[in-house]
Structure 1
C-alpha cells in the first residue's frame, strides 16, 4: 500500500517502565488518530498484546531491530 502523505507516528518507549506497561500503551493508542500510528519500543516481542490489538481493531507490524529491541507499529484499521 502506498500513500502520498507521510503518516504521523508517535513513539512510546516502554523499555524502562517498572511493571506492566499495558495501561500506558492503551492510553497512548487512545490518542492516535485515524491517519496516525504508534510505534511501541520494547525490550521483548509483546506477543500477549497482539490478541488485544486485534480485538480492538488495530493492525500492527513487528520488527526486531536489535537483540533486546522490538518495534511494533500499531495503526487503526
Structure 2
C-alpha cells in the first residue's frame, strides 16, 4: 500500500459509469499510466479481486471506503 491523498491522483476512472465488466477499461488505463502518474479508481464495492492483478503488474494501492456504495482505490507504480 502507498500513502497519499486520493485528491492528488493524476487520473480518475469511475467504473460505476461503465456498462458491463470494467476490467478491460481498468487494464487499459493502467497500461497508459505514466511511471510517475497515479490513478484514482472509483467503484461501488471493494474490488478485492483486482488487488492481485495490481500487485502482479507492479502497482501498489490504497483503498478507502467513502460511502456505503463508494470505494476509492489510489493506484501507484511500485
Give TM-score, length-normalised by structure 1: 0.86
Matched, 1:30 2:31: yes
**Aligned-residue RMSD, C-alpha:** 2.0
Higher Rg: 1
Query: What pairs with 1:1-77 in structure 2 (closer than 5 Å)?
Result: 9-77=10-78
Moved over 6 A (4+): none
Higher relative contact order (CA 8 A, sep 6+): 2
User: Greater strand percent: which structure?
Assistant: 1
Matched positions, count: 74
The separation in 2 between residues aligned to 1:25 and 1:18, in whole angstroms, is 13
The whole-number CA distance in structure 2 between the counterparts of 1:65 and 1:48 is 19
Consecutive unaligned residues of structure 2, counting only runs of 5 or more, are none
1 CA distance for matches of 2:42 and 2:30? 14
